[in-house]
């Protein structure tokens, strides 16, 4: 299975399936049908079966999906069956909140290094992470064998920071800056625009009145 052969919406829905399956596992559920999984997520059972088929054959006729084995398989597919070290660039309000967020380790991620350029932040600790100057980024990537980064920087600085990350050999960037990044094809970029998400929510609320 090649990642480029799988539609992005199907990959995104894997996280939905994983969350729901983890809940079922905690509840003691042994097996679940595609219909049951679909209904709990407001999807069609055909969509669930099609999405999972991109990654292999997991279900059994008349039985459905075995919950715990499928949880383990989806974690393997998503690369979260082990803890992945992540670097954070930008320790403003959002960056500090991300450093203090306790949910990352449970999902297989750990922010092990944080960087900024503001001298009044360098050397300070946020949680268990000490803030370092951005000029030390290359050393940290080697030190921690990092290949993923979170960018929580202002829009005007985003492209320059992305360039430095790419030059340092980072493989994937989670971008919180509301701007489009120009990066090499080999570098995966996922952008989270909080304001745009609120606009979409506002539209849904507005049109349902």
89-118 b/e (C-beta count within 10 Å ≥ 16 → b): bbbeebbbebbeeeebeeeebebbbbbbee
Pairing of the two strands 84-89 and 148-151: parallel
The pLDDT-based confidence of 159 (bands split at 50, 70, 90) is very high
pLDDT value for 88: 96
**Lowest mean per-residue pLDDT among 5-9, 26-30, 89-93:** 5-9
CATH code of 3-76, in short, is 1.10.10.10
Q: How far apart are CA 54 and CA 6, in angstroms?
A: 7
Give the DSSP H or E segment for 109: strand 109-116
Mean residue pLDDT across the chain: 90
User: What's the whole-number mean pLDDT along residues 64-83?
Assistant: 91
- Is the per-residue pLDDT at 72 higher than 80? yes
State pTM to two decimals: 0.82
pLDDT value for 82: 85
- Is the per-residue pLDDT at 148 higher than 90? yes
Q: How far apart are CA 209 and CA 91, in angstroms?
A: 39
Number of Cα atoms under 13 Å in the Cβ half of residue 199: 5
Q: Using alpha carbons only, how large is the chain's radius of gyration in Å?
A: 20
Q: Distance from CA of residue 86 to its chain's centroid? A: 11
pLDDT value for 1: 45
Nearest to 108 by CA among 80, 128, 87, 86: 80
82, 83, 85, 89: CA torsion to nearest 10: 120
Q: Do domains 3-76 and 84-196 have the same CATH topology?
A: no
Boundaries of every domain in the chain? 3-76, 84-196
Q: How far apart are CA 45 and CA 119, in angstroms?
A: 54
Pairing of the two strands 125-126 and 84-89: unpaired
pLDDT value for 2: 45
User: What's the whole-number mean pLDDT along residues 56-67?
Assistant: 85
pLDDT value for 46: 93
Better pLDDT: 165 or 138: 165
Better pLDDT: 159 or 203: 159
Nearest to 65 by CA among 21, 8, 109, 131: 21
CATH of 84-196, one of 3.60.20.10, 3.40.630.40, 3.40.30.10, 3.40.50.720: 3.40.50.720
pLDDT value for 95: 94
Pairing of the two strands 129-133 and 148-151: unpaired
Q: How many residues are listed for the chain in this entry? A: 209
User: What's the whole-number mean pLDDT along residues 162-188?
Assistant: 92
- Is the per-residue pLDDT at 84 higher than 70? yes
Sheet holding 148-151, edge to edge: 125-126, 129-133, 109-116, 84-89, 148-151, 172-175, 188-191
């Amino acid at each position: 299975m090649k990642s480029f052969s799988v539609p992005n919406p199907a990959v995104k829905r894997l996280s939905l399936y994983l969350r729901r399956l983890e809940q079922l596992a905690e509840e003691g559920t042994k097996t679940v049908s595609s219909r049951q999984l679909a209904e709990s997520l407001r999807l069609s059972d055909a969509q669930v079966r099609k999405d999972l088929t991109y990654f292999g054959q997991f279900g059994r006729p008349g039985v459905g999906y075995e919950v715990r084995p499928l949880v383990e398989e989806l974690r393997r597919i998503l690369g979260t069956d082990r803890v992945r070290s992540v670097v954070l660039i930008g320790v403003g309000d959002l960056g500090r909140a991300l450093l203090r967020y306790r949910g990352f380790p449970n999902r297989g991620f750990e922010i092990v290094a944080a960087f900024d350029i503001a001298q009044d932040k360098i050397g300070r600790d946020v949680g268990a992470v000490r803030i370092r100057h951005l000029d030390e980024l290359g050393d940290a990537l080697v030190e921690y064998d990092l290949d993923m980064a979170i960018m929580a920087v202002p829009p005007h600085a985003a492209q320059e920071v992305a360039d430095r990350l790419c030059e340092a050999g980072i493989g994937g960037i989670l971008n919180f800056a509301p701007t489009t990044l120009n990066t090499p094809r080999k570098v995966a970029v996922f952008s989270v625009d909080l304001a745009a998400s609120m606009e979409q929510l506002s539209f849904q609320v507005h049109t349902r009145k």
